[in-house]
Amino acid sequence: MKKAGRNITKARQAVEPRPYLLQDAVPLLQKVKYSKFDETVEVTMRLGVDPKHADQMVRGTVVLPHGLGKSKKVLVIATGEKVKEAEQAGADFVGGEEMVEKISKENWTDFDALIATPDVMKSVGRLGKVLGPKGLMPNPKTGTVTFDVAKAVQEVKAGKVEFRTDKTALVHVPVGKISFSPDKLVENARVVITSVIKAKPSVAKGKYIKGCYLSSTMGPGISIDTTPVETAAKA
């Protein structure tokens, strides 16, 4: 524990208390890495919204151009021809009511994303207590309640991630692995930040991006200057 403590202290000391451009922050984050496993890199944004109001909830999805570095396990709950369509698209688990029963009775959640067709949502809706806390509940707004199951499966497999504000107006989004090339991490992070900027609620007043940070699982948080991304997003 003492060694880990010294390592994180040393890593933090290497990061200046100022905003960095993305293209400078990513190499720095990789340079101060000290853990032996392939850490996940995450973008955290503090937004000028009040999540208590439904019209200020920031939520959406984005397909990362370079994925997340791992293949997500996808469950599709559907009926009829949509079952075969999901299988052909590469879904890891496919089924109907039997899958609903398995989740309900066994608290089974050995998957990273759940896609459901609208006609089964009455059954899937009963799984809220199991799926909700894990962020696995399908939702039309994120494209996970759809009859186009093939497209939905392919997008998740390609690196589609969801973002949404938590109770403290923070958004946490994974953007890849620390082992990615700097260019890939920069591009993934830029796409995420741009998507959050474009999801700004029309009723939100004042400064929207109050803070943006790049961090890895064990590494320090690096403040990001989002001005160039915001300028490009508005162009």
Instruction: Give me the CATH number covering residue 131.
Output: 3.40.50.790
CATH of the domain at 167: 3.30.190.20
Same structural domain, 83 and 124: yes
Give the per-residue pLDDT at 214: 95
Residues 26, 56 within the same domain:
yes
User: Considering 106, 136, 154, which residue would you say is the last residue of a domain?
Assistant: 154
Checking if the pLDDT of 227 tops 60, the result is yes
**Among 95, 97, 100, 101, CA closest to 83:** 95
pLDDT tens digits, one per residue of 103-147? 999 999 999 889 999 999 999 999 988 998 888 899 888 889 999
Report yes or no on 227 lying in a domain. yes
In the structure, what pLDDT confidence band is assigned to residue 3 with cuts at 50, 70 and 90? low
Has residue 182 been placed in a domain?
A: yes
pTM of the model: 0.74
Q: What is the mean pLDDT of residues 183-191?
A: 95
What range defines the domain where residue 133 resides? 74-154
Query: Each residue of 53-86: pLDDT tens digit?
Result: 989 989 888 889 898 877 789 999 999 999 999 9
Per the model's pLDDT, the better-predicted residue between 222 and 158 turns out to be 222
The whole-angstrom separation of Cα 172 and Cα 165 is 8
Residue 39 lies in a domain: yes
In the structure encoding, which two tokens stand for residue 141, read together?
A: 């707004």
Q: Helix crossing, 227-234 with 182-198: angle to 10°?
A: 60
Number of domains in the chain: 2
- With 60 as the cut, is the pLDDT of residue 1 above it? no
d(CA 167, CA 49): 10
pLDDT at residue 4, rounded to an integer: 53
Shared domain for 121 and 56, answered yes or no, is: no
Q: Is 8 among the domain residues?
A: no
Q: Both 63 and 164 in a single domain?
A: yes
Q: Mean per-residue pLDDT for 94-99?
A: 93
The stretch 150-165 carries a mean pLDDT of: 88
- Co-location of 52 and 100 in the same domain: no
Sign of the dihedral through C-alpha 88, 93, 95, 96 = negative
User: What is the predicted pLDDT for the residue at 118?
Assistant: 94
Do 59 and 169 fall within a single domain? yes
The model's confidence at residue 32, banded by pLDDT at 50, 70 and 90, is confident
Do 230 and 173 fall into the same domain? yes
